[in-house]
Structure 1
Amino acid sequence: MDRYQAMVTFIRVVDAGSFSAAARQLGVGQPAVSKTVAQLEERLQVSLLIRSTHGLTPTEAGQNFYERARNAIQAADEAELAAKGTSAGLSGRLRVSAATTFARLHIIPELPRFLAEHPQLTVEIILDDRMIDLVAEGVDISLRMGTLADSTAIARKIATGGRSVLATPAYLKRVGTPRSPADLANHEAIIYSQLPNAWSFLREGAAASVSVNGRLRVSAAEGLRAAVLADMGLTITSDWMFAPELENGAVVRVLEAWSLPSIDLWAVFPAGRMITAKARHFADFVESIMKATTHLPV
């Protein structure tokens, strides 16, 4: 039995909560995972997991082994990377969670450079606009925008971006350009269902909050983009979501005299785990990307 791989497998089983979920994350069959854990228990002469209809729970011995094994794996990875030097590439698999549109526009086009620097690394990107359970999904790093709801999350701010009211020139030509937040009541708003309908603005210390109306509500940023680019209405969103169109003039900002709260991009890491070198390097990589995208036209 490979002790290192057995520890990795056991850690993944505890994090995922089941043999089947761990097997999917490791890319092996469930029988292989069950056999590895059984062999580990036989070697240690102790029961590591309590199996029930509700899933798997570590025993007291299993929890102690899990915590020490996790630290040992992390220390081994860090030691190997340090021994190879800063120019050494990363290896293994990196699971990343990110919002679909953000990843499509800003991350995936830059991935060839990251993969070229680390030819022994495999990257798996989970595209989902919703928040997911990082531990259950075996995610190493998640890219999230906005305010973090979980105060216990291990997070690092990567970038801060602007937010604007955006529309196509064709829509504004047809309906007119709003001159104040109050004018938005006369416009068709494309509403992103994951954000409140009330849009808040600030100008020279004066605040204005407007509840917008629209016949179209979408649950994902891809739908928001498609609707705006189809001249269906205006919306409020991060400039990151329309970076190509802001650059080529396909969409324009309105109400520029009024400021909107900025939006933060975070690298979020699974709670209860040490941050891997792979995850840290990827966060650095994304930060370098976002520094290059902050120079959007104004």
Structure 2
Amino acid sequence: MDRLASMETFIRVVETGSFSGAARQLRVGQPAVSKTVAQLENYLGVKLLTRSTRGLTPTEAGLGYFERAKRAIEEADEAELAARGAGTGLKGRLRICAAVTFASIHLIPLLPKFLAQHPDLDLEVVLDDRQIDLVQEGIDVALRMGKLLDSALTARRIGRCKRLVLGTPGYFECAGTPATPADLSKHQAVVYLQGEGSVWSFQRDSSEAAVKVQSRLKVTAAEGVRAAVLAHVGLTIASEWMFTPELRSGAVCAVLSEWSLPPLDLWAVFPTGRAATAKARAFVDFFERSFNP
């Protein structure tokens, strides 16, 4: 029996709450996971899991073993990294989560360099605009923007950018250019349902203004907002990150620049209750350096 592999399998079972969840993360069959846990219990001579119709829960002994086994796996990863030299020679699998549009524009283009630095490392990039459960999905690190909804998350801020009112020159030529926030009520807005919604709040010096915009088009994904704006459907509030190529080329332009919107923060988020792995930390360090040169 491979003790470290058995420990890792047991950890995944506890974190996902099922044999099937652990099997999906480990890419093996459910019977193999069940067999490994049974062998581990036999080896230790103690029952680690309580099985019921509601799922799997660790026994008192299982919970204690889980905490120590998790630390042992993390220390083994650290030992391997130290033996190879800090920041080099990562191996195994690293599972990253990021929003679709942000990853397409800013993350994916940087990955060839990271992979070249670590030829024994495999990456899995989960693209999802939603804030998924990192433990259930087996995510090592997520890149998230905006306010963090869960204060218990372990997070590190790695970037910040402006948010702007954006539209295409073609749209503004037809609809006119707003001179004040109040003018936005006369325009068609493309509303990102994961963002501000239909009420946009601005600030200039000590003045504040909130405007309820008209919107015949509301979109649940950032890529849809991009497509709609570029099709001249309307204007939108977006981060500089969402339209970086188009801002550079002039395909979109910002208006109301004398008014400010709350900035957007970028966070590296790690699963609750688990120390960040050496691989996850190395990736975040690389991305922060490359993204903010």
Q: Same fold (TM over 0.5)?
A: yes
Contact 2:167 2:252 in 1 (8 A): yes
Between the aligned partners of 1:42 and 1:287, the Cα distance in structure 2 is 45
Superposition pairs of residues 57-206 of structure 1, within 5 angstroms: 57-86=57-86, 88-195=88-195, 196-206=197-207
Letter of the structure 2 residue corresponding to residue 86 of structure 1: A
Between the aligned partners of 2:200 and 2:291, the Cα distance in structure 1 is 25
**Which contiguous aligned blocks of 4+ residues in structure 1 show a shift greater than 2 angstroms?**
none
Please give the secondary structure, in 2, of the residue aligned with 1:97: strand
Q: Give 1:86 shift.
A: 2.3
Between the aligned partners of 1:245 and 1:42, the Cα distance in structure 2 is 61
The two structures, once aligned, show a CA RMSD in angstroms of 0.9
Structure 2: which 5+ runs fail to align? none
Letter of the structure 1 residue corresponding to residue 50 of structure 2: I
Please give the secondary structure, in 2, of the residue aligned with 1:214: strand
Q: Give 1:164 shift.
A: 0.2
Counterpart in 2 of 1:42?
A: 42
Please give the secondary structure, in 2, of the residue aligned with 1:135: coil
Contact 1:106 1:289 in 2 (8 A): no
Letter of the structure 1 residue corresponding to residue 208 of structure 2: A
Between the aligned partners of 2:18 and 2:123, the Cα distance in structure 1 is 23
Between the aligned partners of 2:191 and 2:44, the Cα distance in structure 1 is 57
Q: Give 1:179 shift.
A: 0.4
Letter of the structure 1 residue corresponding to residue 23 of structure 2: A
Q: Give 1:87 shift.
A: 5.3
Between the aligned partners of 1:286 and 1:86, the Cα distance in structure 2 is 16
Q: Give 1:290 shift.
A: 2.4
Q: Residue deviations 1:240-275, cap 9 Å, x none?
A: 000000000100001011111101000000011111
Superposition pairs of residues 205-220 of structure 1, within 5 angstroms: 205-220=206-221
Letter of the structure 2 residue corresponding to residue 150 of structure 1: D
Counterpart in 2 of 1:295?
A: none
Structure 1: which 5+ runs fail to align? 293-298
Contact 2:190 2:234 in 1 (8 A): yes
Counterpart in 1 of 2:19?
A: 19
Please give the secondary structure, in 1, of the residue aligned with 2:11: helix
Q: Give 1:192 shift.
A: 0.6
Q: Give 1:88 shift.
A: 2.6
Q: Say yes or no: does 1:230 pair with 2:203.
A: no
Contact 1:81 1:90 in 2 (8 A): yes
Counterpart in 2 of 1:296?
A: none
Q: Give 1:54 shift.
A: 1.4
TM-score, length basis structure 2: 0.98
Counterpart in 1 of 2:2?
A: 2
Contact 1:13 1:19 in 2 (8 A): yes
Between the aligned partners of 1:63 and 1:215, the Cα distance in structure 2 is 52
Counterpart in 2 of 1:277?
A: 278
Contact 2:87 2:282 in 1 (8 A): no
Superposition pairs of residues 258-273 of structure 1, within 5 angstroms: 258-273=259-274
Q: Give 1:83 shift.
A: 1.7
Q: Residue deviations 1:214-253, cap 9 Å, x none?
A: 1000000010000000000000011100000000010000
Between the aligned partners of 1:236 and 1:47, the Cα distance in structure 2 is 55
Q: Say yes or no: does 1:253 pair with 2:262.
A: no
Identity within the alignment, %: 62
Q: Residue deviations 1:37-75, cap 9 Å, x none?
A: 000000001110111111110010000000000001101
Between the aligned partners of 1:201 and 1:194, the Cα distance in structure 2 is 18
Between the aligned partners of 2:249 and 2:110, the Cα distance in structure 1 is 20
> How many residues matched?
292
Between the aligned partners of 1:87 and 1:72, the Cα distance in structure 2 is 20
Please give the secondary structure, in 1, of the residue aligned with 2:242: helix
Contact 1:185 1:213 in 2 (8 A): yes
Letter of the structure 1 residue corresponding to residue 248 of structure 2: E
TM-score, length basis structure 1: 0.96
